[in-house]
A and B are shown apart, each in its own frame.
Chain A
Amino acid sequence: MNHLLEVTDLRKEYPLQSGLLGAVMGSRRVVHAVNGVSFVLDEGGSLGLAGESGCGKTTTAKLILKLLHPTAGSIRFAGRDVAGLDGSDLLSYRRQAQFIFQNPYEALNPRFTILRSLLEPLIIHEIGRSIAERVERVAGALDRVHLNPPETFFLKYPHQLSGGQLQRVVIARALLVDPVLLVADEPVSMLDVSIRAGVLNLMRDLSRERKLTTLYISHDLALIRYMCSVTAVMYLGTICEIGPTEEVIEHPRHPYTQALVSAVPDPDPTRPRRPVEIADTVPTPFQLPAGCPFADRCPQVMEVCRHLRPLLLPVDGGVRVACHLYPGSTPRAAEGDGAKLEPN
């Protein structure tokens, strides 16, 4: 198996505007949006990044797509460092990695017709010899996302379409350049329940058909269970658990994953509830605890958790967990902090 995407100890910090007082005191406060994330994604694989708002999952996606520059760490795509790409190399990376946005109402230029929006990638990458050929390709792309007949959508503006239709157009646009990696950030969270399944099925079918490698980012574990074979749970900028989706959801090991899984409401009212016993205070990413980021809320917190950050280390079932409850996670003296070991 080839690693298509290798993310190693990725970090992204934002300086915090601390105002006059901060300037006088000389303090530099920093938000650690992504704080040492490592994972690999195999060709044709599907990884779900789960976590709550502010855990750094969207920042991770934008770093991978080179919409942001990492503070430290590396992202390698097909063996090449993404940060160093420019010129024609960058253009070719742009063709290979595509992004599905969370808000379909904002992802298309409001002043472009659908046809114009879909011609854009073809113009940029000089795909198709004539305008007629490009229009053919656009029609084909709309057909593939089940917007039929395609011509009826050509001259529509985004505000004339529903959310579900817009997200299909966004998917069509991403597929026009024949990418190998597709990153989707909460692709259905803005859509109504009854039409979510259509968009999810479409993405699942298309990525199987074209053997795409996919990275889904969502707060919704159920969605990730449906779409992904591997799940990583993020908390405050770090991965606290990663492994085969079934294992992570059926037998969560990290106390945070356990809380997250049992907090998800279930559409079956007869199923008994497992209570969640953790505090509802969320530490902000600029006051990171010295030890485990989850220590303040953890119901099973131990003394060691307060001052030693656990490493993401393998336990059983192909799962890696960053938690001192699992003896492998306690770093030996020689090792520094951060999850240096390569997962999976």
Chain B
Amino acid sequence: MSSSERAAALPQWTRATSTWRDALLVTWAVARRDRFALAGLVIYGVLLVVALAAPVVAPYNPQDLNYRPDGEVAADEVPSLPHWLGTTNLGRDIFSQVLFGARAALVVGFVAAFGVVVLGTLVGLFAGYYSGWVDTLLMRLADVAFGIPFLPMAIVLVAFLGPSIWNTVLVMILLLWRDTGRVIRAQVLSLRTRSYVEAARVLGASHLRTMFVHIAPNVLPLSFLYGSLAVGWAILTEATISFLGFGDPNVISWGFMLQDAYNSQAMARHAFYWFVPPGLCIMLAVMAGFFIGRGYEELLFPRLRRR
């Protein structure tokens, strides 16, 4: 190949040198080989579409009170054509609330998971790479985080910082990075002695370059595994916090809906149309996270795979 031909082929080669792109390819590979992981991805896909399209698709504003033609508040309506899933005790449209609830779930789940992955991976990289006192300090912090009872602490912090959805996310990041950090550290410890990491040092790569260019892409799949599990945990935790009444009162989430239903004795009135849909949604979203996590796990640790 002449140098002019090489120049022409250059964009194609350099594109393929991007290493972070691999992560997406890995996700695709996971989905292709594991039906559960595929199901998880599909659930997230639907969730994303619903969340984005909620204002367009939802027949009503979820916060608006609805009235009957006679001017009465349309409270406690059973499912009907205008209100597919009925209305709440205050006359709000349940179907619209479920659709809008996807937004909260998605924001909480993904922002929290992203934060957990970033923080956990950074902690793990620094602790594992530098070892010594950096490692000791970061891992003792992780021990402290492990010692904190998760849910009570989350509730206390949210109550202290004020009930907003962003505080919920922050609290979850601060409490959930520990698992990711620990696991990434262990992985980095074993990668650090691999020849290709030593090769990077011999070639003159700085510590940061070695960490982020040479080690990080190799722990990223593991970070993703913990990220996908964190999505499930975050959605579940947000639902719990909201259900217990510490959530953001201005945001419609599935947990908030459950609390609403519980407080107005929907269960006693057998208003299944009210509490079953948000419950089901929480379950599906959490399950999807774990399904994807499982797919990653099988890809990362092939021995788990059934023969």
A interface with B by C-beta (< 8 Å):
62, 65, 67, 90-91, 94-95, 97-99, 101-103, 106-113, 115-116, 119-121, 124-125, 131-132, 135-136, 139, 149-151, 154-155, 170, 173, 177
**Residues on the A chain within 8 Å of B6, using CB:** 132, 135-136, 139, 151
Given pairs A110-B196, A115-B13, A115-B16, 6 additional interface contacts (CB within 8 A): A94-B202, A107-B199, A120-B203, A131-B14, A132-B10, A135-B14
> What residues on B are CB-neighbors of A155 within 8 Å?
13, 16
Q: How many angstroms between the C-alpha atoms of A113 and B16 in the bound complex?
A: 8
Contacts of A113 in B (CB 8 A): 16-17
Q: How far is the CB of B193 from chain A (nearest CB, A)?
A: 10
Q: How many residues of B contact A (CB 8 A)?
A: 28
* Interface membership of B187, Cβ < 8 A: no
Interface residue? B7 (CB, 8 A): yes
- A107–B17 touching, CB < 8 Å: no
A109 and B218 form a contact (CB under 8 A): yes
Residues of chain A within 8 A of B14, CB atoms compared? 131, 135
Q: Does B92 contact A (CB under 8 A)?
A: no
Residues of A within 8 A of B194 (CB): 106
| B124 CB, min distance to chain A CBs, angstroms | 17
Asked if B22 lies at the interface with its beta carbon under 8 angstroms from chain A, I say yes
A111 touches B201 (CB 8 A): no
Decide yes or no whether B214 CB sits under 8 A from chain A: yes
Contacts of A99 in B (CB 8 A): 198-199, 202
Q: Which residue of B7, B198, B201, B203 contacts A132 across the interface (Cβ within 8 Å)?
A: B7
Cβ of A124: which chain B residues have Cβ within 8 Å of it? 203-205, 209
**Given A115-B17, A154-B13: A136 touches B203 (CB 8 Å cut-off):** no
Q: Contacts A101-B195, A101-B198, A132-B10 given: A121-B19 contact, CB under 8 Å?
A: no
B3 proximal to A (CB < 8 A): yes
| Interface pair B218/A110, CB less than 8 Å apart | yes
Q: B residues 1-17 with Cβ under 8 Å of A?
A: 1, 3, 6-7, 9-10, 13-14, 16-17
Q: A107-B195, A151-B1 are in contact. Are A120 and B205 (CB under 8 A)?
A: yes
In the bound complex, residues from chain A placing their C-beta under 8 Å from that of B195 are 101-103, 106-107
- Cα-based distance from A271 to B34 in the complex (angstroms): 60
> Top 6 closest A-B pairs, CB basis?
A94-B204, A116-B17, A107-B195, A101-B195, A106-B195, A111-B217
- The residue on B at minimum CB distance from A124 is B204
Write the chain A residue with the least CB distance to B197. A109
B200 at the interface (CB under 8 A from A): yes
Between-chain CB contacts (< 8 Å), 20 pairs: A67-B202, A97-B202, A98-B202, A99-B198, A101-B195, A103-B195, A109-B218, A110-B218, A113-B16, A115-B16, A121-B203, A124-B203, A125-B204, A132-B7, A135-B10, A135-B14, A136-B3, A136-B6, A154-B13, A177-B203
**Chain B residues positioned under 8 Å from A107 (CB to CB):** 195-196, 199
Give B147 Cβ to nearest chain A Cβ, in Å. 24
